[in-house]
């Protein structure tokens, strides 16, 4: 859909629009050029590094982790297994949105986790509360920029980002508004189930939509997530 004045960058596929008019097929989400692959992997690594910064700040987890913690507290499941099952349910939510997986969907699961494991031991303890706050904000910014990079590669969103891209493309809503709504709803459900919330959690919920929106703009978000 075309951008409204002042709206977030569109996540509609330019290739799909051209295909409808001129018979040109949109780029595959599974076959890619070296350049697109570098953009994808760089964005996902930056995304995971941002998550590592947020974790090391010790001011609270992201909303989806809060939800997994809440589910684990109400069931015999571990937080890790709860996270996997939630991810499976999220993927089912792609069906009515007609969102499609791709290489980026698979890499999202693998690369972000690897980046967290590699980068977390390298992040120094910030110590003072103020420094922790700055580190958490830096982590949110890194996740936003990393999201913009990997989504612009147009190789498919991650499981949770698929809701955002699908809703933005289908209804033309701004990225920041959709992401804020998703994160707030997930956080509320996680809290009701007994998940732990910190200042970093609240900051992430309120700011990540704007960070992703800015990241998409910065790296050419009009190419979007095809």
Burial code of 18-56, b = ≥16 C-beta within 10 A, e = fewer? eeeeeeeeebebeebeeebeebbbebbbbbbbbbbbbbb
Binned average pLDDT, 10 residues per bin, the chain of 226 residues = 47 36 58 90 94 90 90 88 87 89 90 88 88 94 95 91 92 94 95 92 95 90 42
Angle formed by the axes of helices 129-152 and 34-57, nearest 10°: 160
> Nearest-CA neighbor of 143 among 209, 221, 222?
209
Per-residue pLDDT at 116: 87
Q: What is the pLDDT of residue 23?
A: 41
Q: Where are the alpha helices (DSSP H) in the chain?
A: 14-22, 34-57, 63-74, 79-92, 94-97, 103-119, 129-152, 161-171, 175-192, 199-218
- pLDDT at residue 84, rounded to an integer: 82
Structural contact between residues 191 and 122, judged by C-beta atoms closer than 8 angstroms: no
List the structure tokens of 97: 């949105």
Per-domain residue ranges for the chain?
A: 35-223
Distance in angstroms (rounded) separating the CA atoms of residues 195 and 201: 11
Distance CA 166, CA 68 (A): 23
Cβ burial, residue 89 (10 Å; 0-12/13-18/19+):
exposed
Among the listed residues 6, 110, 118, 105, the one whose alpha carbon sits nearest the alpha carbon of residue 52: 118
Q: What is the pLDDT of residue 120?
A: 86
């Amino acid at each position: 859909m075309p951008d409204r004045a002042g709206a977030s960058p569109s996540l509609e596929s330019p290739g799909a629009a051209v295909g409808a008019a001129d018979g040109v097929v949109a780029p595959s989400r599974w076959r890619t050029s070296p350049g697109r692959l570098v953009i994808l992997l760089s964005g996902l690594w930056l995304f995971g590094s941002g998550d590592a910064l947020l974790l090391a700040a010790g001011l609270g987890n992201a909303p989806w982790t809060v939800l997994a913690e809440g589910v684990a507290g109400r069931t015999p499941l571990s937080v890790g297994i709860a996270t996997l099952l939630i991810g499976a349910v999220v993927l089912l939510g792609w069906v009515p949105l007609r969102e499609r997986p791709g290489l980026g969907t698979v890499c999202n699961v693998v690369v972000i986790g690897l980046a967290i494991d590699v980068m977390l031991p390298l992040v120094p303890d910030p110590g003072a509360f103020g420094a922790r706050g700055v580190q958490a904000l830096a982590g949110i910014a890194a996740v936003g920029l990393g999201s913009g990079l990997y989504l612009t590669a147009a190789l498919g969103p991650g499981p949770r980002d698929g809701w955002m891209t699908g809703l933005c493309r289908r209804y033309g809503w701004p990225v920041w508004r959709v992401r804020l709504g998703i994160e707030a709803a997930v956080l509320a459900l996680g809290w009701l189930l007994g998940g732990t919330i910190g200042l970093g959690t609240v900051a992430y919920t309120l700011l990540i939509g704007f960070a992703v929106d800015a990241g998409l703009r910065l790296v050419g978000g009009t190419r979007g997530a095809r």
